[in-house]
Chain A
Amino acid sequence: MQIAALQAATLGRRAVVRTARQPANVVFPLIFPMLLFAVNSGGLKAETRLPGFPTDSFVAFAIAVPFIQGALLATVNANVEFARDIQTGFLNRLALTPVRGIVLLLGQLGGLLTIALVQAVFYLAVGLAFGVHLETGVGGAVLLLVLEAVIALAFASFGCWAALRTGSTEAVQGLFPVFFVFLFLSSMNIPRNLIEADWFRWVATINPVSYLIEAVRALVIYDWHWEPILLGFAVGIGMSLIGFALATHALIQRMARS
């Protein structure tokens, strides 16, 4: 058990080190969500004048989006590297050791979570610097990081599944626009109850990403409004479980060693 934990930690450390040594994989996921955050905050702040808008600070409303984008970017980058491990035979090298498949998966996801959390701390710091006030205080900030871990795990497990299923870096990169479609068809820019187009409101309502964003948002703009928070955790954990099951199945098939 102790060895398995050490093996998972070593694999996680490798994922972090590998990312840290590629400046493009560090800088882009930090800067891109912040740029989009700045553009949205500037361009859409008039929304706060809509009757029923939940806050008078659009910056506080919009800060939820970088957390989701960051988790997506971390997922895509880390799983592109994972797919590359399959393409180059690195996974075969690991498959020839006594390490268990589940440990490989946990190591990969653990590394990715670490990266996503570091990014989340950065977004939070930038948000606070630009005047975002967390209504839930320090406790809310801690829970926000926990939620970010759950969100990252949810996306990451699907990314792992794609990497293992296809073994193709291109296929994993192709996930990025797919994830982004889900993001744009969510309540990222406007509360669901204020969406006027029926079809869009319906899509945003069935889109799980809406609930993840709304949970993050609730921790920022409301004083412990539990319903969206719990819903966000439930959706995130549900997605993680489904993604993890798919990834485990794909790993078993991929490492069909006897």
Chain B
Amino acid sequence: MDPRDNSIEAHGLVRDFKKGPRAVDGIDLHVGSGEIYGFLGPNGAGKSTTVHMLTTLLPPTAGTATVGGYDVVKEGPQVRKAIGAALQEAALDPYLTGREHLRLQATMHGITGDERKQRSAELLHRVGLTEAADRKIRGYSGGMKRRLDLALALVHHPRILFLDEPTTGLDIQSRTALWEEVGRLAKEDGVTVFLTTQYLEEADVLADRVGIIDHGHIVAEGTPDQLKAEVACSTVEAVPAELAQKGAVAAVLERFGTPTTGFGPESVAVQLAANDGDIAQIVRALDAEKLRISNLQIHEPTLDDVFLDKTGRHLEGAGDEADEKQEAAAV
């Protein structure tokens, strides 16, 4: 096995639970070394179960997976040495300080003495918690807890990092800070990152490639741009300066694409027939008809459009539906 192999592979990975539906239903994955892979899906889609299997915390019911070149079933200890993980709940002890957590985690990884002290200080600095290092966790904000969680996952210099919904519940500032750190880990340290998220923006901004999971199946996979280009073209939205001209504006826009809804009542919108449509042509056509426009915008397709195309549902709210079904099955 190549010791520098930081990839993740899974073939036909399945996980059944006794009283619930099949959580993961035969997924195939390939995540290359140094890649940030975004695993996007609603609550209950199977994201965390997949992470638990890949991190050796949960044995698969069927299928195979290797992480860092090691089999997750037969070579669990080697997998655990190669990976770091920040799981869905920032599992921290409210009565310990940040520094105490890092020292505890380092000791569990066999790092002791000065090296432990040095590594703890280095990681606290890296995640911006040096000043709060000796405060108890119960006084930390959600963002601070998540940053400490990330630092704990990095204590033993892992080659592969699993982050299970690392920014759920965080404000945009904390979220952005975490994205920067994760991006830096992949770019500068060559760490492979497997990131689960239910935030479209997170997958879009951070991931090199995205896998969309729904009801235990991967329904789409590719770079964010590829996925979006596959399912939809850009949408142009125009707001006439005078409401009386709304019909005329619609008539002009319809020459470039098909009408679409979901925008404001004063707006007219069309989905362009092709992504290479020239916005200048639209402006010229409106101008030729002497139509005045107070606002003209182009909306790029989103990963939600991809999710909608593949599953028939929007990502937002899909998790509630999945949760309800799971609860009903459990009852």
Residues of A within 8 A of B (CB): 3, 6-7, 10-11, 14, 17-18, 21-22, 85, 88-90, 92-99, 256-258
25 contacts between A and B (CB under 8 A): A6-B107, A10-B103, A10-B107, A14-B104, A18-B93, A88-B89, A88-B91, A88-B92, A89-B87, A89-B91, A90-B91, A90-B93, A92-B91, A93-B87, A93-B105, A93-B152, A94-B108, A95-B57, A96-B83, A97-B105, A97-B108, A98-B109, A257-B57, A257-B76, A258-B79
In the assembly, what is the distance between CA of A196 and CA of B290, in Å? 109
- Distance in Å from the Cβ of A119 to the closest Cβ of chain B? 19
Chain A residues with Cβ below 8 Å from B156 are 97
Chain A residues with Cβ below 8 Å from B103 are 10
Chain B residues with Cβ below 8 Å from A93 are 87, 91, 105, 152
- Distance in Å from the Cβ of B72 to the closest Cβ of chain A? 6
Chain A residues with Cβ below 8 Å from B110 are 3, 7, 98
Known contacts A7-B107, A96-B83, A97-B109, A258 near B89 by CB under 8 Å: no
> Which residues of chain B from 287 to 328 have a CB within 8 Å of any chain A CB?
none
Contact digits for B59-101, partner A, Cβ 8 Å, 1 yes 0 no? 1000000000000111011011101010111011101100010
In the assembly, what is the distance between CA of A52 and CA of B85, in Å? 65
Q: Is B261 an interface residue (CB 8 A)?
A: no
Name A10's contact: one of B58, B83, B92, B104 (CB within 8 Å). Answer: B104
The answer to whether B108 touches A98, judged by C-beta atoms less than 8 angstroms apart, is yes
In the assembly, what is the distance between CA of A97 and CA of B100, in Å? 16
In the assembly, what is the distance between CA of A125 and CA of B108, in Å? 37
Chain A residues with Cβ below 8 Å from B72 are 258
Pick from B55, B77, B96, B107 the residue with the most CB of A within 10 Å: B107
In the assembly, what is the distance between CA of A122 and CA of B96, in Å? 26
Name B81's contact: one of A18, A21, A98 (CB within 8 Å). Answer: A98
Q: A88-B92, A89-B89 are in contact. List 11 more A-B contacts (CB 8 A).
A: A3-B110, A6-B107, A6-B112, A10-B104, A14-B104, A17-B96, A21-B95, A89-B87, A97-B108, A98-B109, A258-B73
Instruction: Name the prevailing secondary structure of the B interface residues.
Output: loop
Q: Is B56 an interface residue (CB 8 A)?
A: yes
Known contacts A18-B96, A90-B93, A258 near B107 by CB under 8 Å: no
In the assembly, what is the distance between CA of A169 and CA of B232, in Å? 50
Q: Which 3 A-B pairs have the closest CB atoms?
A: A89-B91, A97-B108, A258-B76
Q: Nearest residue in A to B136 (C-beta to C-beta)?
A: A21
Known contacts A6-B112, A98-B81, A98-B108, A17 near B87 by CB under 8 Å: no
Chain A residues with Cβ below 8 Å from B87 are 89, 92-93
Chain B residues with Cβ below 8 Å from A90 are 91-93
In the assembly, what is the distance between CA of A257 and CA of B52, in Å? 9
In the assembly, what is the distance between CA of A98 and CA of B100, in Å? 19
Chain A residues with Cβ below 8 Å from B59 are 256, 258
The answer to whether A98 touches B85, judged by C-beta atoms less than 8 angstroms apart, is no
